[in-house]
Amino acid sequence: MSDTPLRLACDAMCGGLARWLRLIGYDTFYREGVADQELIDIARTQNRVVITSDGKLLERRLFTTGRLQAVDLPRGLKLLEQVEYVARALHLTVGTARCTRCNGELVPVSRAEVGDEVPARSLIWAKKFFRCADCGHVFWEGTHWRHIAAVRERIANLQWDEPR
Ligand SMILES: [Zn+2]
């Protein structure tokens, strides 16, 4: 499991968490309203670790026998506490951000390439621009990125007692 990049699957309740896991660089399945069985099927076929607060889901044999790995996310955590909890549980490192909308890979693009798609102020202000290889959405490191960068740094600086 340590040879291939860790891939994740968030249950239907964890949309906010999924966005953050993508922002710190993890290939994270999430779909609004996804049924438990479909989530499990996707996790099995795509070799993903399931993240859920649903104790009943975790009672399924696939999980209790260890054939499918899961993170049992405590209820009542704030969003960024959830991110940190998962990062600690799985010893996550920080990599290139993925598309928060669809989980696609973000490809760096030039300012000129996105001139028609980015508000004028951001076009001047931002230094880096990216386009999602899957959905085509354009992202840029604007004012909101300071917050994202701070969270990414905090996760990157978490200390593990032992390697995963
Ligand atoms: Zn996308």
- pLDDT value, residue 1: 46
Report, as an integer, the average pLDDT of 9-34.
Answer: 97
pLDDT digits (tens, 9 = 90+) for 109-119: 999 999 999 99
Instruction: Tell me 57's DSSP state.
Output: H
Report, as an integer, the average pLDDT of 135-163.
Answer: 89
Report, as an integer, the average pLDDT of 37-51.
Answer: 97
Q: How far apart are CA 61 and CA 69, in angstroms?
A: 11
Phi/psi class of residue 84: alpha, beta or left (left: φ > 0; alpha: ψ in -120 to 50)? alpha
Q: From the CA of 99, how far away is ligand 1's center (Å)?
A: 5
Q: Kindly report the number of other CB atoms within 10 A of residue 33's CB atom.
A: 7
Q: From the CA of 139, how far away is ligand 1's center (Å)?
A: 10
Q: From the CA of 3, how far away is ligand 1's center (Å)?
A: 26
120's tokens = 């004028």
Q: From the CA of 138, how far away is ligand 1's center (Å)?
A: 8
The label of the residue with tokens 């798609």 reads 117
Domain boundaries defined on the chain: 8-97
pLDDT digits (tens, 9 = 90+) for 79-126: 999 999 999 999 999 999 999 999 999 999 999 999 999 999 999 989
Report, as an integer, the average pLDDT of 18-33.
Answer: 97
What beta strand segments (E) does 2-158 contain?
8-10, 28-29, 49-52, 70-72, 106-109, 129-132, 138-140
**pTM beyond 0.85, yes or no:** yes
Q: From the CA of 137, how far away is ligand 1's center (Å)?
A: 6
Torsion angle (degrees, nearest 10) of CA 142, 20, 31, 40: 160
60's tokens = 């399924």
Contacts of 9 (CB under 8 A, 6+ apart): 28, 29, 30, 39, 42, 43, 46, 48, 49, 50, 51
Q: From the CA of 132, how far away is ligand 1's center (Å)?
A: 5
Q: From the CA of 55, how far away is ligand 1's center (Å)?
A: 31
Q: Kindly report the number of other CB atoms within 10 A of residue 150's CB atom.
A: 10
Q: From the CA of 19, how far away is ligand 1's center (Å)?
A: 11
